[in-house]
Structure 1
Amino acid sequence: MKLKLPLIPTIVVALAVATMIALGIWQLQRKGEKEALIALYAANAGKPPITFPDMAPVRDAEMFRKSTLNCLEVVKWQSVSGRDTKGNAGFQYIADCKTGAEGPGALVAYGIADRPDIKPEWKGGMVNGTIITEPSRYGVIERMIGKIPVPRPMIVADSVSEGMRPVAQPDPKSVTNNHLSYALQWFFFAAAALVIYLLALRRKQAGG
Structure 2
Amino acid sequence: MKRYLFPLILGVLGTAILVWLGVWQLQRLDLKEDMLARIQSRIDAAPVPLPANPDPSMKYDPVTVSGMTTGEEIDVLSGTKEQGGGYQIVSGFVTDDGRRIMVDRGFVPQDDRHAPRPPVRLDITGNLHWPDEKGSSTPDPNLSENIWFARDVPAMAAQLGTQPILVVASFVRGDAQGVQPIPVAIEGIPNNHLSYAVQWFMIAVAWAGMTAGLIWRIRQRKY
Q: TM-score, normalised by structure 1?
A: 0.65
The amino acid that maps onto 2:198 is: L
- Specify whether residues 162 and 44 from structure 1 end up closer, same or farther in structure 2 by C-alpha distance, changes over 3 A only: closer
Give the C-alpha shift of residue 164 in structure 1. 1.9
Are 1:180 and 2:183 matched, yes or no?
Answer: no
72-81 or 107-116: bigger deviation = 72-81
The amino acid that maps onto 1:168 is: I
Where does 1:146-165 land on structure 2 (aligned, <5 Å)? 152=153, 154-157=166-169, 158-159=171-172, 161-165=175-179
Larger Rg: 2
Give the C-alpha shift of residue 199 in structure 1. 0.9
- Which whole-Å CA distance do the structure 1 matches of 2:118 and 2:9 have between them? 65
Are 1:78 and 2:75 matched, yes or no?
Answer: yes
Query: Residue in 2 aligned with 1:43?
Result: 41
Give the C-alpha shift of residue 189 in structure 1. 0.9
Query: Residue in 2 aligned with 1:63?
Result: 60
Are 1:29 and 2:27 matched, yes or no?
Answer: yes
Query: Residue in 1 aligned with 2:131?
Result: 134
Matched positions, count: 190
* Cα contact 1:38–1:173 (8 A) shared by 2: no
The amino acid that maps onto 1:108 is: V
Identity %: 20
Are 1:5 and 2:4 matched, yes or no?
Answer: yes
- Which whole-Å CA distance do the structure 2 matches of 1:129 and 1:83 have between them? 21
- Which whole-Å CA distance do the structure 2 matches of 1:124 and 1:15 have between them? 66
* Cα contact 2:122–2:175 (8 A) shared by 1: no
* Cα contact 2:105–2:181 (8 A) shared by 1: yes
The amino acid that maps onto 1:166 is: Q
Unmatched 5+ residue regions in structure 1?
144-149
Query: 1:4 is paired with a residue of what secondary structure?
Result: helix
Residue deviations 1:33-64, cap 9 Å, x none? 122122223322332224467444x55xx425
Q: TM-score, normalised by structure 2?
A: 0.61
The amino acid that maps onto 2:88 is: Y
- Which whole-Å CA distance do the structure 2 matches of 1:20 and 1:74 have between them? 56
- Which whole-Å CA distance do the structure 1 matches of 2:8 and 2:74 have between them? 59
- Specify whether residues 199 and 76 from structure 1 end up closer, same or farther in structure 2 by C-alpha distance, changes over 3 A only: same
Query: Residue in 2 aligned with 1:147?
Result: none
* Superposition CA RMSD, Å: 4.1
* Cα contact 1:54–1:106 (8 A) shared by 2: no
Residue deviations 1:59-111, cap 9 Å, x none? 5xx42533437677576512222349xx54442323264779xxxx8543213
The amino acid that maps onto 1:164 is: G
